[in-house]
DNA sequence: ACCTGAACACCGTTCAAGT
DNA sequence: ACCTGAACACCGTTCAAGT
């Protein structure tokens, strides 16, 4: 018997081997040895299936226990989110890109709002901060998964080639920065982004609270 | 006679009426009254066509004249970028999402690096800042175009409905912030994001420079 | 240099009929 | 309640043949 769960599982299988672009009702049906049309009994078309995949990914995000320290707690959530998104790199763009309205997506939001509230932010500013920080996180992760492992810091030949291309532009600032632009260390970039975002949050925190 | 230019133009037509999802070689061919296979003489398949569209959008970004003031100049670029991305809202996700390697994409990068360099940042930090700020910008705009006009601040009924859904979650911090979470004013969110990012940049700027 | 006919191997989805 | 046959209206792309 078919079920929503097994269908989502089969979709992960397709995504892991053929990418999100490889997902089709027919491909998923093939994995399950079932007619693609049967899927419609459990899932709301292809869009609904992809939403279900994104939700499955988010729902297993385990939120770290809060310590009471603003930056420690926000940082922990950011890293947990990244770990989850990268657990199926090919599926990451789904979580990052879909407008999720399900309950699944609300737990992390609750966690972040609670931390900000405890740090003394008022509700309105908390929502703004939540949105900017999340956008920065998503933008950073999106670049990371788009760049792919090809863009790693290892591949010396690739770096040399990209440096050459950048220098060929003859734009002075680009040329001067070429060797840095050609390199991309995902871990370091993420760390830099998170620390910058945390700085910005702390910088706006009301005084006399527990953030330091 | 067909040309790359007319093909890209026809694709914009398709995108503006049917969204990115409506783009197909056949649909573009139909607009031009031409066999879809003919497109392959001017464009590298569908992927290449979408790249060309994104590049066309970026290439008409006109960069504001620098004034020499760090925040003024970065802010001007951010707003110019947004205006361009939103000029064809349905096409925005292409510019925001594609890994562009063309010359077109380098001009804005040159501009930003030059501003950061003039503010006294060293090359390595400039590249980091460029990447974080761009990621934040992209994340913010992606949300904006995904949310769509539906999520405007006008629609009182929609806001009420979303507030109710959020409150139904019974998560305390989400409930407390429900009325703010249900609202989304794209202009204000963008402004907040930009000012936060600029604060973060200024905060890291070497002293004794021209940023103030 | 450019266009297209023939051809191939794909898609998502509805709906009525079966169990 | 679930599965599927028949059917429809789509896709992207290659390659050889035409002008």
Write out pLDDT tens, residues B100-136: 777 888 999 999 999 999 999 999 999 999 999 999 9
Distance between the alpha carbon (CA) of A99 and the C1' atom of D1, Å: 31
How high does pLDDT run on average in chain B? 92
Nearest Cα to B162, choosing from B150, B173, B145, B149? B150
Which nucleotide lies nearest residue A38, CA to C1'? D3
A109 or B62: which leads in pLDDT: A109
Q: Under a CB-based contact definition with an 8 Å cutoff, are residues A8 and A53 in contact? A: yes
B136, A135 contact by CB (below 8 A) = yes
Judging by beta carbons within 10 Å of its beta carbon (0-12, 13-18, 19+), is residue A63 exposed, middle or buried?
A: middle
- Specify the length of chain B in residues: 212
- Per-residue pLDDT, averaged over A86-99, amounts to 93
Kindly report the nearest CA distance between residue B103 and chain A, in angstroms.
7
Tell me which chain A residues have a C-beta less than 8 angstroms from the C-beta of B199.
Answer: 200, 203-204
Question: Of the candidates A181, A154, A152, A148, which has an alpha carbon nearest to the alpha carbon of residue A165?
Answer: A181
Candidates A128, A48, A135, A133; CA nearest to A97 is A135
Contacts of A128 in chain B (CB under 8 A): 189, 192
Mean pLDDT over A16-29 rounds to: 97
The span from the CA of A137 to the CA of A83, in Å, is 12
**B48 nearest nt, CA–C1':** D12
pLDDT over 90, % of chain B: 84
Q: Which of A2-11, A144-153, B57-66, B70-79 has the lowest mean pLDDT?
A: A144-153
Mean pLDDT of A60-75: 95
Identify all chain B residues contacting A203, using CB atoms and an 8 Å cutoff: 199-200, 203
> Tens of pLDDT along A175-191?
999 999 999 999 999 99
Cβ contacts below 8 Å, chain A against chain B, sum to: 147
Report the mean per-residue pLDDT for chain A: 92
pLDDT value of position A53:
97
* Protein-proximal nucleotides of chain C (any atom < 7 Å from a CB): 2-6, 10-15
Q: What are phi and psi of A185, to 5 degrees?
A: -105, 105
Whether residue A145 is predicted with pLDDT greater than 50 in this model: the reply is: yes
Between CA B45 and CA B11 the distance in angstroms is 13
Question: Cα(A100)–Cα(A103) distance, rounded to whole angstroms?
Answer: 9
Interface test with B, best of A50, A102, A111, A132 (most B CBs within 10 A): A132
Q: What pLDDT was estimated at residue B121?
A: 97
**SS3 breakdown of chain A: % helix, strand, coil, rounded to 5?**
75, 0, 25
pLDDT at B206 over 70: yes
Q: Which of A110, A132, A140 sits opposite B174 (nearest CB)?
A: A110
**Model confidence at A103, in pLDDT bands (50, 70, 90)?**
confident
Average the pLDDT over A105-115 and give the result: 94
pLDDT(A211) > 50:
no
Q: What pLDDT score was predicted for residue A102? A: 78
Q: A203-207, B119-123, B192-196: which range is least confident on average? A: A203-207
A37 touches strand C (CB under 7 A): yes
From the Cβ of A25, is strand C under 7 Å away? yes
The residue among A153 and B133 whose pLDDT is bigger is B133
Residue of chain A nearest B188, judged by CA positions: A128
B120: left (phi over 0), alpha (psi -120 to 50) or beta: left
The distance (Å) linking the CA of A60 with the C1' of C9 is 37
Mean pLDDT value of segment B82-111: 90
The lowest-confidence range among B40-44, B59-63, B103-107 is B103-107
Q: How far apart are CA B128 and CA B92, in angstroms?
A: 24
CB nearest A196 (choices: B132, B139, B165): B132
Least confident of B78-82, B129-133, B205-209: B205-209
Q: Is the pLDDT of residue B150 over 70?
A: no
- Alpha-carbon gap, residue A204 to A128, rounded angstroms: 12
Confidence band of B153 (pLDDT split at 50, 70, 90): low
Give the pLDDT band of residue B212 (cuts 50, 70, 90): very low
| Residue A45 CB lies within 7 Å of the nucleic strand C | yes
**pLDDT at A101 exceeding the cut of 80:** no
Asked if residue A143 has pLDDT above 90, the reply is: yes
User: Residue B24: which nucleotide is closest by CA–C1'?
Assistant: D11
Kindly determine whether the C-beta of residue B33 is less than 7 Å away from any atom of nucleic acid strand C: no
Please give the pLDDT value at position B104.
80
Contact B138 A137 (CB under 8 A): no
Predicted pLDDT of residue A212: 43
């Amino acid at each position: 018997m078919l079920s929503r769960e097994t269908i989502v599982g089969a979709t992960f299988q397709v995504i892991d081997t053929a990418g999100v672009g490889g997902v089709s009702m027919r491909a998923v049906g093939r994995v399950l040895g079932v007619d693609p049309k049967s899927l419609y009994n459990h899932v709301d078309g292809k869009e609904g299936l992809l939403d279900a995949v994104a939700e499955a990914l988010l729902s297993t995000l385990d939120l770290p226990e809060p310590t009471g320290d603003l930056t420690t707690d926000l940082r922990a959530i950011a890293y947990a989110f990244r770990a989850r998104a990268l657990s199926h790199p090919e599926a990451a763009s789904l979580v990052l890109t879909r407008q999720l309205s399900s309950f699944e997506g609300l737990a992390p939001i609750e966690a972040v709002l609670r931390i900000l509230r405890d740090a003394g932010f008022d509700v309105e500013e908390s929502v703004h901060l939540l949105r900017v920080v999340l956008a920065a996180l998503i933008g950073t992760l999106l670049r990371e998964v788009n760049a792919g492992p090809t863009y790693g810091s290892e591949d010396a030949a690739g770096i040399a080639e990209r440096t050459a291309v950048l220098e060929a532009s003859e734009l002075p600032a680009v040329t001067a920065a070429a060797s840095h632009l050609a390199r991309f260390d995902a871990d370091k970039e993420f760390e830099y982004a998170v620390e910058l975002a945390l700085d910005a949050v702390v910088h706006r925190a009301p005084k006399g609270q527990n953030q330091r």
